[in-house]
Amino acid sequence: MTETRDDVYRSRVSEKCEIAERQDPTARASTDGPLDGSEIESFATDGFLVKEQLLGASEVRSLVKEAERIRRNARDVEAAGVVKEPGGETVRSIFRVHRNEVFKTLACQEPRVVDPIRQLLDSDVYIHQSRVNFKPAFDGKEFYWHSDFETWHVEDGMPRMRAISVAINLTESNEFNGPLMVIPRSHLKYVRCAGATPEDHYKDSLRKQEYGVPSRDALEELTREERIRAAKGPPGSALFFECNVMHGSAGNLSPFPRIGLFIVYNSVENRLVEPFGGIRPRPVFLAEREVMPV
């Protein structure tokens, strides 16, 4: 990677945050898949799609049980894929859960999860990242607004916007426990963030962000004509969202813990190259570099 490489999604190269236009189609959807025309249209327009009941209650119970089990095992170790709360020992995220047998089956083989993604991206896909997020009751911390793609492009070398995440609520997500919030239509713009990216930045950024942060002006612009939407719903509800959707979540002051499963799929035609930020690639638990189609 050199500074001269032509990069339509350059970011963190200026002192000023700027809003640019998206350079990729918002949906390449084929007709071959479970989503109907209006769902595809809705995803292309808003950048996300809500599925009120993607998984059933008993499926979710098994996943919660496994998530709790690996959290207990993770608590006392400083494993690479385990991220703790800022200033605490509480486990906030466990990454690369698609290497776990229980989550792997869901992430790699479950048609309700994989087929909509394949359809929307109109290609085979592989798992770029997966994680379980735990937002503890009473002091679950906020996660500030960001576009995943901005980070994946600058820090991991994802070339184009051709990835989709599915966020599955493993517990009820309500207005009080810091639900995932998205800004509709924000995926149509690209916010070039200010500043540079230090090496090994990820070690802190997963706890608290300082780089790749959109300016307040940019966020005000993105929300000027859009109402924020929260991914509220019962256990098993899910949100499919495009990799460039601006999203975040508030803290959790409520007595209700929140557990969310995130699986990110990238098109096999969009495999990672050298990071565009000129840094060395982040560890594979954050960005798989091996393409294994699901």
Fill in the amino acid letter for 136: P
Beta bridge partners of 126: 266, 293
Least Cβ distance, residue 23 to its own copies (angstroms): 26
Binding mask 244-263 for its own copies (x = CB under 8 A): ----xxxxxxxx--------
Q: Cα dist. 187→25, 134, 150, 230, 246 in Å?
A: 10, 26, 11, 16, 7
Beta bridge partners of 93: 83, 133
Least Cβ distance, residue 43 to its own copies (angstroms): 23
206-245 residues near its own copies, rule: CB under 8 A:
216, 219-220, 223, 228, 230
Least Cβ distance, residue 248 to its own copies (angstroms): 6
How many angstroms from the chain centroid is the CA of residue 125? Answer: 15
**Distance from C-alpha of 100 to C-alpha of 26, rounded to nearest angstrom:** 31
186-205 residues near its own copies, rule: CB under 8 A:
none
Least Cβ distance, residue 174 to its own copies (angstroms): 9
8-27 residues near its own copies, rule: CB under 8 A:
none
Residue choice 178, 235, 236, 260 for contact with its own copies (CB under 8 A): 178
The answer to whether 177 touches 252, Cβ cutoff 8 Å, is: yes
How many residues belong to the site for its own copies (CB under 8 A)?
Answer: 23
Fill in the amino acid letter for 252: N
Q: Which is nearer to its own copies, 162 or 232 (CB)?
A: 232
The answer to whether 116 touches 104, Cβ cutoff 8 Å, is: no
Binding mask 116-155 for its own copies (x = CB under 8 A): ---------------------xx---x-xx----------
Least Cβ distance, residue 219 to its own copies (angstroms): 6
Least Cβ distance, residue 127 to its own copies (angstroms): 28
Q: Which is nearer to its own copies, 32 or 220 (CB)?
A: 220
56-115 residues near its own copies, rule: CB under 8 A:
none
What are the start-end ranges of the H helices in the chain? Answer: 37-46, 57-74, 101-109, 111-121, 148-151, 202-205, 216-222
3-state secondary structure 138-204: CCECCEEEEEHHHHHHHHHCCCCCCEEEEEEECCCECCCCCCEEECCCHHHEEEECECCCCCCCHHH
**Chain residues in the site for its own copies (CB under 8 A):** 137-138, 142, 144-145, 175-176, 178, 181, 216, 219-220, 223, 228, 230, 248-255
